[in-house]
Structure 1
């Protein structure tokens, strides 16, 4: 019964469909329209896959938006989480240093001194006085009416500095003052002396020789008398017109006198460069305080707040509901488990506190929508009074019960406190490591002094350096602050190799490739079906045309017979 009913229904549908293309005259059948309708019916099977691809593409786009916002949040967290690897020190805002200068005795500090400090430089205070700036030696030639006229001089002279190399300069009769200057400058990198032509007036020019570096003295040789002819040296071989003598920079740091050939001094205190630009009088000095860069720390906190709020805004958009109570049409990741996990991890990180210090201590709080906001007055007060609180709240912290153990790299899963039992041989090389009595969690590196966490354990990612010469038990205490936790949460989400968002996007893209394969298969089959129909209906049309020819012939015969009778 069921089979008969289905067949009957199908036959009726086909008949109805065909009727739209048929008429009493079979020659008027719309064969192309009929074929196209049957072709489109075959393609309809691909619509489901097209819809799935479109849905997945919307999700992929949303995941990518999330990943971009999380990357920005990760960058903001990275600046605040503190580093254990020295190669990453440039990203640690707490290692940034600023030189704060104060003039003493009426001197304007910025007029005599500038100081730059590298990241991680030891903080401290220094008193600076400057009695003399380094200068370059300058000497002048005699006056010439033209800078471009040939001087009719021929010969060779040597030029250089007393502590450097000398070069030979060849002069020909057709060379002008400018030509000689150019010849000297071509060798400046070797000689350490440069030349310029000074226009004193419309009819007076001088050749000026200057040491490239301050604190250097020009040395010349003039066997052919070229320099004497130019008026640079006198009959005794000395400089005829010294415009400026060479001298060393002389300054003091905390009462210690220092002499340098340059006004840019970077070899006195590690990490500091002093730029001497003026001198101090008696009873004048400049106090230089090297401290954390409070402006950068504040900017990093504000950037973190902004980055979190940008992600929070996106997360809320994916939780919007429609007027009927279901998910909004734009909330393509509504209820998504991957995003929910990330949101929970970020929210958990923001509740972190250490020694009763939470983010409210520095002026951070949530509004009614769980956006972060900050009280600028409170934040400024903390920066000026105790900036260590900010680092304590945001950063990773590490303490070891032994000064012999330091951390090089850190992981994410080890407990906050654990004890390393380290054994060494007579040469101080590590022979074994256990954690609270359990072995197999760390291996010893090839140096004999490194301890590396085993992959797949809670200590994966950790590397310690042990410099002790005796076996000992070392207790490690660590804490992951707000920025450290958020950095790790975002890394787990957007890591290029194994991030949760990376994986789900890759899975959706793989599914879309499979769906596209299905669409391509359906399309190919439909094209083949269409080609077959076209050929079959062309054959039918030919048969009909042939039949109509026969019919017309028979009708003509009948008409002829009837006419004869």
Structure 2
């Protein structure tokens, strides 16, 4: 006969008493409730959490893609011919190198060193003679016989060789010497005023106990000459210098050299205003009969490095694409391939591949594609580590170069290689320049008809369907001179903005070609736009999705909490009923036992 229903021990869960551990009946309320709640979590919350994780992983991969695209954009920027003014330093093809050769066995650079700024015109110059170098005036005082330079050399009643106490004025700067001032202090007072006087003073000990002051102009050239014994340099009413011997050791002199038959004279040996962009540093005069040839030539090394940098940036993105589309042996995508089916990655890779494989229209010469300068596509085999794990999957269509062919192309056809990559614009009117452009430009040659008097601003061009004349949007310059001309959407000049720096009527023949660097830069700029760019749009969509998913997770957890509370109520009631039944059974058993005892 059953005297009680035996369950596990009681525990408190969320304010409710539930049984834990199986008793004689095998019932374990807590385990049952936990299992039911977990089933709800698995069915309704985990899929949402998994989607958040997938979104987060995708967002991380998109950030990596953005970084790689930014590297491609930066590399393309060095090759595209950045629009605007003073941008030569940003364009690899505008860098130049210099050389100086002589008609003798002596190195030309020992006479003149030449440097050139980016954008300097490649050409040659002739220096027929370096007549003289610029020199600074140098004067010395008489000898002061002293134990050391801290002894006094200024007196109120000066004798021969002494400075007199008083004030002198040089170029408006007053220098006051006091009786008892030492030689070092006199030098310090001259130097304190050197910024205004242009004269420095140094204490020099020629022999033991024999000191002199050496006065030197801070700048070379006759325009900076001085003479401390001349009223033209010094106002000395007190006779401060009257008893001091002053000797000129080196007179001021100007630099003189003959450049392309023109005599050039400057006060400095560093001359940067003779030819725009070039700096000549004179080292020594040339002997009679010695001539120098200065060469300014394109910097092949800088251009080549920029091209290689672009290739590396492109290849890094292709390797990333390969990892993101990597397959397992069973044909499924690898764990890390979170962008395997993503349109942004595929579109980006395909578009960039299209641009770098372009044959550029409108170019003259033999260079019109990467292949024509030794850059071709190849595939990289799969790479594994020592354990056989794939470190880099098979990668298609990366760029590789024939180093010799690339170097030869740059050496022999530098301008053609430059135009393969950069935006090139020509015009028979110097007042016309390009300000901005996009990849929508669809014509290489056009003619502008500009007549501000009749408000005529038109472009005429020909394409496969014939000749077309279209209007340009013209905006007057705020300066009152010139116009901003913009190609209208839907025309072959769409996105092209030109500056016309004149108010005169003109017919202008112009040409434009867009190289690979410019095309890639414009494409990646749109792709990376923080508002409308494809990467930003997808990142924003992921953020929105995760926000909604988190709300759904919160709602589901709230529903599950309610479900758990309901279960606790039901099982608590069940346990109370079982407890009451046990009490009743115990009472019944006691009565039976009492009756059995009485009958005995």
TM-score, length-normalised on structure 2?
Answer: 0.76
Structure 2: unaligned runs, 5 residues or longer: 1-17, 157-164, 227-232, 380-395, 462-467
Q: Classify the secondary structure of the residue corresponding to 1:331.
A: coil
Output the CA distance in 2 between the equivalents of 1:245 and 1:550: 127
Output the CA distance in 2 between the equivalents of 1:228 and 1:458: 83
Per the alignment, residue 420 of structure 2 pairs with 393
Per the alignment, residue 146 of structure 1 pairs with 148
Per the alignment, residue 442 of structure 1 pairs with 473
Q: Classify the secondary structure of the residue corresponding to 2:188.
A: helix
Cα distance per residue 1:17-41 (max 9 Å; x no partner):
x986453699x9786x777666655
Per the alignment, residue 416 of structure 1 pairs with 443
Cα distance per residue 1:329-371 (max 9 Å; x no partner):
2222113222222222222222222456322222212224422
Per the alignment, residue 279 of structure 1 pairs with 285
TM-score, length-normalised on structure 1?
Answer: 0.80
CA-CA distance at 1:185 after TM superposition:
2.6
Output the CA distance in 2 between the equivalents of 1:528 and 1:150: 101
After TM superposition, the structure 1 = structure 2 runs for residues 275-314 of structure 1, keeping only pairs within 5 Å, are: 275-314=281-320
Structure 2 residue 269 is the aligned partner of structure 1 residue 263: yes
Cα distance per residue 1:41-73 (max 9 Å; x no partner):
565433222211221222222222222222222
After TM superposition, the structure 1 = structure 2 runs for residues 339-358 of structure 1, keeping only pairs within 5 Å, are: 339-353=345-359, 354=363, 357=367, 358=369
Per the alignment, residue 376 of structure 2 pairs with 365
Q: Classify the secondary structure of the residue corresponding to 1:371.
A: strand
Q: Is the 8 A contact 1:72 1:307 kept in 2?
A: yes
- CA distance 1:202–1:558, change in 2 (3 Å): farther
Output the CA distance in 1 between the equivalents of 2:561 and 2:241: 93
After TM superposition, the structure 1 = structure 2 runs for residues 450-465 of structure 1, keeping only pairs within 5 Å, are: 450-454=484-488, 459-465=493-499
After TM superposition, the structure 1 = structure 2 runs for residues 65-464 of structure 1, keeping only pairs within 5 Å, are: 65-128=64-127, 129-141=129-141, 142-143=143-144, 144-151=146-153, 153=155, 155-158=165-168, 160=170, 165-173=171-179, 175-200=181-206, 203-215=209-221, 216-218=224-226, 219-228=233-242, 233-234=244-245, 239=246, 241-353=247-359, 354=363, 357=367, 358-368=369-379, 369-400=396-427, 405-417=432-444, 419=446, 422-426=449-453, 430-433=455-458, 442-446=473-477, 447=480, 448-454=482-488, 459-464=493-498
Per the alignment, residue 500 of structure 1 pairs with 534
Q: Classify the secondary structure of the residue corresponding to 2:45.
A: helix
Higher strand share: 2
Output the CA distance in 1 between the equivalents of 2:419 and 2:107: 36
Cα distance per residue 1:99-129 (max 9 Å; x no partner):
2221222332222222222222233211123
Cα distance per residue 1:474-532 (max 9 Å; x no partner):
565433222222222222222333221222122222322332333344456666777x6
Q: Classify the secondary structure of the residue corresponding to 1:80.
A: coil
Q: Is the 8 A contact 2:438 2:522 kept in 1?
A: no
CA-CA distance at 1:312 after TM superposition:
1.9
Output the CA distance in 2 between the equivalents of 1:526 and 1:157: 97
The CA RMSD over aligned residues, in Å, is 3.9
Output the CA distance in 2 between the equivalents of 1:185 and 1:540: 102
Output the CA distance in 2 between the equivalents of 1:207 and 1:43: 94
Structure 1: unaligned runs, 5 residues or longer: 1-17
Output the CA distance in 1 between the equivalents of 2:485 and 2:263: 46
Output the CA distance in 2 between the equivalents of 1:60 and 1:519: 20
Q: Is the 8 A contact 1:423 1:432 kept in 2?
A: yes
Output the CA distance in 1 between the equivalents of 2:148 and 2:577: 108
CA-CA distance at 1:253 after TM superposition:
0.7
